[in-house]
Structure 1
Amino acid sequence: MVQFGYTMMTEQAGPRDLVTHVVRAEEAGFDFSVTSDHYFPWLDEQGHAPYAWSVLGAAAQATSRIPLMTYVTCPTIRYHPAVVAQKAATTQLLSEGRFRLGLGSGENLNEHVVGGGWPAADVRQEMLAEAIEIIRALFDGGYVNHHGTHFDVESAKLWDLPDTPPPIGVAVSGQPSCELAGRLGDLMIAVAPDAHLVSAFDENGGAGKPRVGQLPVCYDPDRATAVRRAHEQFRWFGGGWKVNAELPGTAGFASASAYVREEDVAASIPCGDDPEVFAEAVRPYIDAGFTEVALIQIGGAAQLPYLDWAEKTLLPVLRGL
């Protein structure tokens, strides 16, 4: 049976609110949760970007059942992979085994802040593969020394290790990333319901492993209000990841989405309060072979009304799929 998740979107709410929201998501019956890991929001209108790992630690203590997951962390520029391994191991301990480490090659939006430049896509994939190897070596215990193409590790060791290391998910968007995910990942992560991604993942070692998808939705009893909010905060989404990975700041995303209309957003993001419309947006992920789908409710202040509605109305419909 497909599982349905809740997204703690750090770009649209502060840290205390994010924890409040995931507690309510657990109560509402969501099967799992994910959180973004951003230094910047996509647009100024979103208005937030707290440190995701502090939020995860608080969420691990405030909840008892719902799984947690990064969606996704970039372990190559802003963070060194040895530090990511330590953070992930600690979060797994705090959550008592409920954490999964989702990794990806990142976006310039978040990684430019440390002044290291923004490598080409093929180099970013090489860096991600090397980072995953370092993280897995540290999860295995003992001292790790590594002198690779992109990273050095000197006598690193994780002193607090969980009995079961966090499963590692890898974000995919094309053939090279699917090959990497199938070879090095325990699960696949994607934001498009593309059956070709699933098949490429399967063909490269991913068969039988979870496939996690994500899509934005915008609940509001007044559909026009939902459409306006979706346009205000998510008009950047349609640019595609080849574009979204390259732009360095909110001004770039504002310019790139300047001519996106409300009706364009409404055509790609389910808006309003009809659960069947939301279910039809989820169905392509199921048809493509995804085993889990995380929903993003657009708008920080709209989370609790959405979660009340999801508990009573949306989740029963989705489970009927």
Structure 2
Amino acid sequence: MVFGWFKRGLAKTAGVFGGVLDVLRRKGKVDQAFLDELEKQLYRADLGTTATATIIDRVRQGFRDKEVGEEVSAFVRKQLRDLLASDSPGLAYAASGPTIVMVAGVNGSGKTTSIAKLANRLKKDGKNVAVAACDTFRAAAIEQLTVWAGRIGCDIIKQGQNVQPAAVAHDACEAAKARGYDVLVVDTAGRLHTQTHLMKELEKIHTVVSRQIPGAPHEVLLVLDASNGQNAVVQAEQFSKSVKCSGIILSKLDGSAKGGAVFAIKQKLGLPVKYVGVGEGLDDLEPFDPDAFVAALFDKG
């Protein structure tokens, strides 16, 4: 990940993390007052209670009554990187046949735009990509994805509004096999995590896809709006109850000061951030890099 690109996108979140950096630059010892203030600033940065408590406990165990200095600062940064580390940072591809990537998210999260960015990136990587318009409850979603597909130059499998999403998913999987697509990215109905009937539709799509193609879906990516902060954690929990999510696309990071919520999501649910969206352009999606993320948070240049 290009550090400069990431730094620009994290400007607002880094501003909040400035409070953490200020604490780590103070003179004095790692006493209870220091730990209390560090805890306050980590929590303020949207890390959530679990991730914050983990870091504070480790600092207490390793540095109690020692001088605050670069060693403590480096330790905290390493803990933050470790919290975000993943055994599966990239997309999981099928061993043979088409790779199916389901994408879910609430209305307004940037889901459809993120799908377009992902398809564009995969196409530039040399993949034969198609998108499936299974968000059939909202006509604008089908139209929007059609426009994006035209700009990208990839196929789109779609039907009319209010057609059963699972039926579109079925046809899309058949097309993927027949036409030899490398990757099929499946849009799903934008829904609130509290809408039970729409969450059931998500489960149906998952079931249909798994029947059509062995091992599918190979990825279930959840798009989360970075500006939602801790509410994004709640959304991730609810979606994971309906389908087993494999990773996160964090959207709108450039407009948010709450990017620290990724630590809470990873700590609580074990879901890695796979891509980060910054800006509205088709190229404004980058694979997530924990090292660059943490470095950008603490960079004051």
Short-chain TM bin? 0.3 to 0.5
User: Bigger relative contact order, structure 1 or 2, given CA contacts below 8 A and separation 6+?
Assistant: 2
Structure 1 or 2: more helix by fraction: 2
- The TM-score, its normalising length taken from structure 1, stands at 0.32
Larger Rg: 2
- The TM-score, its normalising length taken from structure 2, stands at 0.34
